[in-house]
C-alpha cells in the first residue's frame, strides 16, 4: 500500500499512527489508497456471497456473478472476527444498513448484538455516552452506530475505550460512509473505474448524508464530472465548493450521464414545506424512462433506498434493466465485511 503522510494521519481521528483504519466515521479526508483497498477487499468478498436479486444483473466485469454459493446468509465465509462482538446501535430506523452489517459480522464469524433502542434505557433518559460506557463494559469490540444527530459517531469514537472501534452507519445529514463505499464498489463493478465518468446525483441533496459521502468518495477517486441536480430548495448553498456542477433542470443534469444516483426525499429531516407536493416533484424531477433516455445508453441507475416509487423514481426504471439498486444492497454486505475486518485490524 502507498504510504500516507504522517501529518495527515495525526489530523485524522479515524486512522491509527500506522495509517490504518481504526474507526470509519466519514469518507471526507479518507486517503484514496484506503478507499481503494476497501473496495478491493469487498470485491473479493462479493465473489463469495449468494447474490440473490443481484444475480440477474448484467455485471460488466462478471465478478459478482461467478462465486460459489452458500446455503445460508449467515454462513461464515472467513472467521476473521471469531470471538469478537459487534454491537449494532441503531437510534434511527434502518432496513438495509442494519441487516447488512449483521450479515457482514456473522459472515466474518463475529457475535452480533442488536440493541433494541425502543426498549432500551435511552427512553428513561440515559445519555448516549452512558449507554456506550455500559455497553463497553459488556466487552463490545465494534460499535456500529446510526443516529439522527450529525456527529454522534465522532462523539462516541472520542469517548470510547481505546480498544473499541466505531463505524458510522449514518449520522443526521452528515455522513453515511459505508453507503458511499458500497456505491463506489457498485460503480467500479459496472463501469470498471472512475476515469471519464459523468455522475448525476439527483434530488434532495440538502438533507442527504449519502450525497455528501458519495461526493467525497467520487472526488477522491477522480471522477471528472459530478453533477448535483434538483430544485434550489433541495440543494445546499455553496455545494459547488465540493467540486460539483449544479443543475436545476433535470434533462441538463442527466444528459450523457454514465451513472445516475437518485435520492429519497428526506421528509423526516425537512423543516417546513420545501416542495409544493410529491406529485409536482415527480413531474419535475422524477426519473422516468423518457428522462433516462437522455443519459448515456449504458447508464446505470442507483438509489440508496428506501425508494419511493412515483415520487423520485418510476417503477419501470426502478425495476428496469439499467437499475442496479438491489445489486447495491448485495455489495453492502461485502463492503461492510471489508470495513469491519479493517477497523478490527484483521484485514489490511
Ligand atoms: N440506504 C440506507 O441507509 O437504507 P436504510 O435506511 O434502510 O439502512
Mean pLDDT taken over the chain: 89
pLDDT at 168: 98
Mean pLDDT, rounded, for 239-268: 95
What are the distances in angstroms from CA 163 to CA 23, 84, 136, 253, 297? Answer: 11, 12, 10, 46, 49
Least confident piece of the model among 5-19, 53-67, 227-241:
53-67
Measured over the CA atoms of residue 21, residue 27, residue 29 and residue 31, the dihedral's sign is positive
pLDDT at 12: 79
Residue with cell 450521464: 257
Mean pLDDT, rounded, for 189-204: 97
pLDDT at 51: 52
179 Cβ closer than 6 Å to some ligand 1 atom: yes
Tell me if 1 is assigned to some domain: no
Query: CA angle at residue 247 from 245 to 252, to 5 degrees?
Result: 110
Residues 185 and 53 in one domain: no
Mean pLDDT, rounded, for 233-260: 97
Q: What is the distance in A from the centroid of ligand 1 to the CA of 190?
A: 22
Distance (Å, whole) CA 183 – CA 79: 25
Closest C-alpha among 86, 143, 90 to residue 119: 90
Residues 184 and 280 in one domain: yes
Tell me if 147 is assigned to some domain: yes
Which of 304, 325, 327, 332 most suits a substitution to test ligand 1, by most atoms within 8 Å of the C-beta? Answer: 304
Mean pLDDT, rounded, for 289-314: 97
Mean pLDDT, rounded, for 306-335: 96
User: Confidence band (pLDDT; 50, 70, 90) for 55?
Assistant: very low
Q: What percent of the chain has pLDDT over 70?
A: 88
Residues 134 and 194 in one domain: no
Mean pLDDT, rounded, for 107-133: 88
Residues 171 and 182 in one domain: no
Tell me if 184 is assigned to some domain: yes
Closest C-alpha among 92, 96, 99, 136 to residue 118: 92
The pLDDT of residue 125 is above 70: yes
Distance (Å, whole) CA 262 – CA 47: 26
Distance (Å, whole) CA 338 – CA 99: 16
CA 167 to chain centre: 12
> For residues 228 and 77, which has the higher predicted lDDT (pLDDT)?
228
pLDDT at 116: 82
Structural domains in the chain (count): 2
19: left (phi over 0), alpha (psi -120 to 50) or beta: left
The pLDDT of residue 67 is above 60: no
The pLDDT of residue 250 is above 70: yes
Tell me if 246 is assigned to some domain: yes
Mean pLDDT, rounded, for 290-295: 98
Q: What is the distance in A from the centroid of ligand 1 to the CA of 2?
A: 32
Mean pLDDT, rounded, for 323-340: 96
Tell me if 280 is assigned to some domain: yes
Q: What is the distance in A from the centroid of ligand 1 to the CA of 179?
A: 8
CATH code (residue 109): 3.40.50.1370
Residues 144 and 221 in one domain: no
Residues 151 and 29 in one domain: yes
Q: What is the distance in A from the centroid of ligand 1 to the CA of 302?
A: 13
Residues 235 and 276 in one domain: yes
Contact status, residue 147 vs residue 91, Cβ threshold 8 Å: yes
User: Confidence band (pLDDT; 50, 70, 90) for 315?
Assistant: very high
Residues 166 and 186 in one domain: no
Distance (Å, whole) CA 281 – CA 176: 25
pLDDT at 5: 60
Contact status, residue 197 vs residue 259, Cβ threshold 8 Å: yes
- In the DSSP assignment, the letter for residue 268 is G
Residues 160 and 18 in one domain: yes
Tell me if 70 is assigned to some domain: yes
The pLDDT of residue 268 is above 80: no
Where b means 16+ CB within 10 Å and e means fewer, 235-273 reads bbeebeebebeebeebeebbeebbbbbbbbbbeeeeeee
Which of 89, 92, 93, 97 most suits a substitution to test ligand 1, by most atoms within 8 Å of the C-beta? Answer: 97
Contact status, residue 145 vs residue 166, Cβ threshold 8 Å: yes
Residues 145 and 195 in one domain: no
Residues 226 and 299 in one domain: yes
Tell me if 163 is assigned to some domain: yes
Residues 190 and 144 in one domain: no
Tell me if 259 is assigned to some domain: yes
Range of the domain at 109: 6-175+330-343
pLDDT at 318: 98
User: Confidence band (pLDDT; 50, 70, 90) for 105?
Assistant: very high
Q: What percent of the chain has pLDDT over 90?
A: 78
Contact status, residue 76 vs residue 108, Cβ threshold 8 Å: yes
Amino acid at each position: 500500500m502507498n504510504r500516507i503522510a504522517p501529518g495527515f494521519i495525526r489530523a485524522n481521528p479515524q486512522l491509527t499512527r500506522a495509517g490504518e483504519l481504526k474507526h470509519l466515521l466519514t469518507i471526507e479526508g479518507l486517503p484514496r489508497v484506503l478507499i481503494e483497498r476497501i473496495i478491493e477487499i469487498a470485491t473479493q468478498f462479493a465473489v463469495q456471497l449468494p447474490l440473490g436479486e443481484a444475480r440477474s444483473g448484467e455485471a460488466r466485469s462478471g465478478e459478482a456473478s461467478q462465486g460459489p454459493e452458500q446455503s445460508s446468509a449467515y454462513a461464515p465465509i472467513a472467521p476473521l472476527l471469531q470471538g469478537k462482538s459487534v454491537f449494532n446501535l441503531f437510534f434511527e430506523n434502518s432496513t438495509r444498513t442494519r441487516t447488512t452489517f449483521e450479515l457482514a459480522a456473522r459472515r466474518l464469524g463475529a457475535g452480533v448484538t442488536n440493541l433494541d433502542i425502543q426498549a432500551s434505557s435511552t427512553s428513561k433518559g440515559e445519555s448516549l455516552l452512558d449507554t456506550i460506557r455500559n455497553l463497553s463494559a459488556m466487552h463490545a469490540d465494534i460499535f456500529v452506530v446510526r443516529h439522527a444527530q450529525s456527529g454522534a459517531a465522532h462523539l462516541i469514537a472520542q469517548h470510547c475505550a481505546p480498544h473499541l472501534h466505531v463505524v458510522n452507519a449514518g449520522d443526521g445529514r452528515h455522513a453515511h460512509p459505508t453507503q458511499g463505499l458500497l456505491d463506489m464498489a457498485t460503480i467500479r463493478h459496472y463501469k470498471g473505474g472512475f476515469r471519464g465518468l459523468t455522475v448525476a446525483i439527483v434530488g434532495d441533496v440538502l438533507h442527504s448524508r449519502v450525497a455528501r459521502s458519495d461526493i467525497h468518495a467520487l472526488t477522491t477517486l477522480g471522477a471528472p464530472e459530478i453533477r448535483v441536480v434538483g430544485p434550489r430548495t433541495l440543494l445546499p448553498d455553496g455545494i459547488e465548493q465540493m467540486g460539483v456542477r449544479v443543475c436545476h433542470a433535470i434533462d441538463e443534469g442527466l444528459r450523457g450521464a454514465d451513472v445516475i444516483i437518485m435520492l429519497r426525499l428526506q421528509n423526516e429531516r425537512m423543516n417546513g414545506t420545501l416542495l409544493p407536493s410529491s406529485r409536482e416533484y415527480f413531474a419535475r424531477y422524477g426519473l422516468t424512462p423518457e428522462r433516462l433516455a437522455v443519459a448515456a445508453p449504458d447508464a446505470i441507475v442507483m438509489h440508496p433506498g428506501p425508494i419511493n416509487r412515483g415520487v423520485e423514481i418510476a417503477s419501470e426504471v426502478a425495476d428496469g434493466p439499467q437499475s442496479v439498486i438491489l445489486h447495491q444492497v448485495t455489495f453492502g454486505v461485502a463492503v461492510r465485511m471489508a470495513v469491519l475486518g479493517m477497523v478490527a485490524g484483521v484485514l489490511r
